[in-house]
């Protein structure tokens, strides 16, 4: 028997109908009972449904004791959904087609690459950690049945084998975000620690001076970025490579991929020397135009500009402005000098406090030495002039005051002196930023503003090292290290696109992509199995803040009925 709705004129009736076969074996139906008019039954239909459910034990809660409901573990969806949509909006899903044409792999290389990139942004861990992470998330637009460790490694090898096509697709994705009329390009390098003691052919892991301090086995990562914070290009170099030798190669790669009419390279203090300046000035763009650059003068070379800055210091003394910026001439280039009065006061106060503290320590040691010479006995180990001299010299060096506090290392007695000329010179240089540029049409204020934006690429390295966790690297093969760097670079592109959209349309209490992803991660998929019924799947309720983030990122809400892969 079954319930059937029949029509009679404009009215509809609910009937209980029985199916049977007549004597000739033909299927027939007969009405067992008419329950009433559908428009008049109202709550009675629900009451009948509930009564039948109680009789049959359908839809009962576990605590009733008459049936059970099975719940699967919830899986994160919101962060994966947003990153997948951004991946598609940038056109990175094209890799599925192009990689399938270029390779003979039967596995979906684009899907595996996307999994590794999304994993770096959502829960950075090792490749084995990726497999554990997959057990906690739902994946949109993934047709893979399973993912294995060897599949991930094979995908990494393919990335390096076909890096040209990967770079082309990445350039196409980033190109709409780049201002091709005037692109201020920021270039910097950082060191990434690498683990392991083995040696491979063409190994990029070399011992060198780490930017985190000390000597370490490492490789170097060069990064080119726009003034808006969009990564353009990356490259892996040996861990003992000189920075200036990488600049020409990286910029030429960028110019080949992006039709930029004018490039102003902005680099940090470590790239400046007379030889480096000559090398930079020899770089020519397509069309014969020289490369324009803005470089900061290292503090250790400020003394070379003392004579040039005399007139500037006089102008600063007569001016009450909080910041003074002027352009001077130096070796056929422009020397832009910026003086921040507040910064100068802070630097001078910090130095004076260090000098005073060191002088107090020296006075205590001198007093103890004099007391010992007078025959006075003190508790503890006896102090010698040589010991006091060595300790004091070490502390002076630690305070970076060796040029101002002169410790006499040749005297038998512990003596030191304050070099007043060096101290006056240091005070004259407090609060100053010296920039060298060959850009003829930028005002001094524009030159300073361009250089100060270099801090953004440092934040990019911070994201790579903290949120994306590019290092330490445990791969030993050079191609795997390069592939790991590429995965992290693509993750940085997605992170910066998120940041740009969140800045354009801010959301309250959401100050970073990491914060946005943590909030979206609370959007989860759920699956329950009711007794006698098929499994029921759904998505948790999306609150107002999550809706605001989705709108800011220009991403639609995840569809409740869309199939999501659980690996």
Query: Any idea where the domains of the chain sit in the sequence?
Result: 2-56, 298-373+381-446
Predicted local distance difference test score (pLDDT) of residue 304: 78
Q: In sequence order, which residues have a C-beta less than 8 Å from that of residue 61 and are 6 or more positions away?
A: 67, 69
Q: In sequence order, which residues have a C-beta less than 8 Å from that of residue 67 and are 6 or more positions away?
A: 57, 58, 59, 60, 61, 531
The vertex-251 CA angle with 183 and 435, nearest 5°, equals 65
Q: In sequence order, which residues have a C-beta less than 8 Å from that of residue 494 and are 6 or more positions away?
A: 83, 86, 87, 90, 117, 121
Alpha-carbon distance values, 565 to 143, 153, 553 (Å): 7, 21, 23
Hey, how many other C-beta atoms are within 10 angstroms of the C-beta on 50? 11
Element counts in the chain: helices (H) and strands (E):
19, 20
Backbone angles phi, psi at 139, to 5 degrees: -110, 120
Beta strands in 278-413 (DSSP E): 292-296, 323-330, 333-340, 405-407
Single pTM value for the model: 0.76
Q: State how far the Cα of 148 lies from the Cα of 157, in Å rounded to an integer.
A: 15
- 75 and 138 Cβ atoms separated by less than 8 Å: yes
Predicted local distance difference test score (pLDDT) of residue 270: 64
Question: Which DSSP symbol is given to 408?
Answer: -
Hey, how many other C-beta atoms are within 10 angstroms of the C-beta on 149? 12
Predicted local distance difference test score (pLDDT) of residue 110: 93
Predicted local distance difference test score (pLDDT) of residue 452: 84
Q: DSSP for 241-273, please give it.
A: --SHHHHHHHHHHHHHHS--S-EEEEE-GGG-S
- 430 and 343 Cβ atoms separated by less than 8 Å: yes
Predicted local distance difference test score (pLDDT) of residue 62: 45
Predicted local distance difference test score (pLDDT) of residue 471: 87
Q: Both tokens of residue 45?
A: 């239909």
Predicted local distance difference test score (pLDDT) of residue 59: 52
Characterise 436 by phi-psi region: left (phi > 0), alpha (psi -120 to 50), beta (else).
beta
Divide the 567 residues of the chain into consecutive groups of 10 and give the mean pLDDT of each group: 84 87 86 84 75 63 55 91 96 91 82 95 88 93 87 92 91 86 78 89 90 86 87 92 77 81 75 67 73 82 79 81 87 89 93 95 92 81 90 94 92 92 90 89 90 80 88 92 95 95 93 94 89 80 95 92 78
Question: Which DSSP symbol is given to 304?
Answer: G
Q: State how far the Cα of 373 lies from the Cα of 382, in Å rounded to an integer.
A: 11
CA dihedral (114, 482, 255, 95) in degrees, to 10, reads -30
Sign of the Cα pseudo-torsion (159, 162, 168, 169, in order): negative
Q: In sequence order, which residues have a C-beta less than 8 Å from that of residue 20 and are 6 or more positions away?
A: 27, 28, 29, 30
Q: Both tokens of residue 112?
A: 């595996």
H helix intervals, 29-108: 38-41, 43-56, 78-89, 95-102
Predicted local distance difference test score (pLDDT) of residue 279: 74
């Amino acid at each position: 028997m079954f319930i059937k709705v029949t029509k009679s004129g404009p009215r509809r009736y609910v009937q209980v109908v029985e199916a049977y076969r007549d004597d000739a074996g033909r299927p027939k139906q007969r009405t067992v009972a008419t329950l009433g008019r559908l428009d008049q039954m109202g709550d009675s239909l629900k009451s009948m449904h509930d009564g039948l459910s109680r009789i049959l034990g359908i839809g009962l809660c576990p605590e009733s004791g008459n049936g059970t409901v099975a719940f699967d573990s919830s899986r994160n969806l919101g962060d994966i959904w947003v990153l997948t949509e951004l991946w598609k909006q940038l056109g990175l899903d094209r890799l599925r087609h192009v990689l399938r044409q270029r390779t003979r792999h039967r596995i979906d290389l684009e899907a595996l690459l996307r999994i590794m990139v999304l994993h770096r942004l959502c829960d950075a861990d090792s490749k084995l950690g990726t497999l554990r992470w997959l057990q906690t998330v739902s994946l949109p637009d993934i047709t893979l049945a399973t993912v294995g460790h060897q599949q991930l490694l094979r995908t990494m090898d393919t990335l390096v084998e076909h890096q040209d096509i990967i770079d082309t697709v990445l350039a196409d994705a980033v190109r709409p975000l780049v201002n091709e009329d005037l692109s201020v390009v920021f270039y910097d390098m950082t060191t990434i620690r690498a683990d392991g003691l083995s040696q491979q052919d063409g190994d990029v892991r070399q011992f060198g001076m780490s930017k985190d301090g000390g000597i370490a086995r490492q490789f170097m990562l060069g990064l080119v970025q726009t003034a808006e914070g969009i990564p353009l290009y990356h490259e892996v170099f040996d861990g003992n490579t000189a920075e200036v030798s990488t600049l020409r190669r990286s910029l030429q790669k960028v110019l080949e991929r992006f039709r930029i009419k004018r490039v102003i390279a902005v680099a940090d203090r470590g790239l400046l020397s007379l030889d480096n300046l000559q090398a930079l000035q020899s770089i020519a763009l397509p069309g014969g135009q020289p490369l324009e650059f803005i470089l900061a003068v290292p503090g250790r070379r400020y003394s070379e500009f003392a004579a040039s800055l005399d007139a500037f210091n006089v102008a600063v003394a007569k001016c009450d402005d909080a910041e003074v910026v002027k352009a001077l001439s130096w070796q056929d280039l422009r020397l832009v000098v910026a003086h921040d009065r507040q910064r100068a006061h802070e630097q001078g106060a910090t130095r004076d406090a260090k000098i005073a503290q060191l002088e107090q320590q020296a006075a205590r040691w001198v007093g103890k030495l004099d007391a010992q010479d007078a025959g006075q006995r003190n508790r503890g180990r006896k102090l010698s002039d040589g010991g006091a001299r060595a300790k004091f010299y070490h502390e002076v060096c630690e305070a970076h005051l060796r040029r101002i506090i002169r410790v006499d290392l040749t005297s038998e007695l512990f003596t030191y002196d304050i070099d007043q000329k060096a101290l006056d010179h240091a005070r004259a240089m407090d609060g100053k930023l010296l920039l060298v540029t060959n850009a003829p049409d930028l005002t001094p204020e524009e030159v300073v503003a361009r250089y100060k934006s270099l801090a953004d690429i440092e934040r990019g390295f911070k994201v790579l090292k903290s949120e994306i966790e590019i290092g330490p690297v445990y791969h030993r093969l050079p191609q795997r290290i390069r592939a790991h760097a590429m995965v992290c670079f693509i993750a940085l592109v997605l992170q910066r696109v998120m940041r740009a959209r969140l800045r354009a349309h801010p959301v309250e209490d959401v100050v970073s992509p990491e914060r946005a992803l943590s909030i979206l991660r609370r959007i989860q998929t759920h699956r329950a199995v009711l007794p006698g019924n098929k499994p029921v799947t759904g998505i948790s309720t999306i609150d107002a803040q999550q809706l605001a983030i989705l709108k800011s990122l220009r991403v639609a809400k995840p569809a409740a009925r869309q199939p999501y892969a659980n690996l």
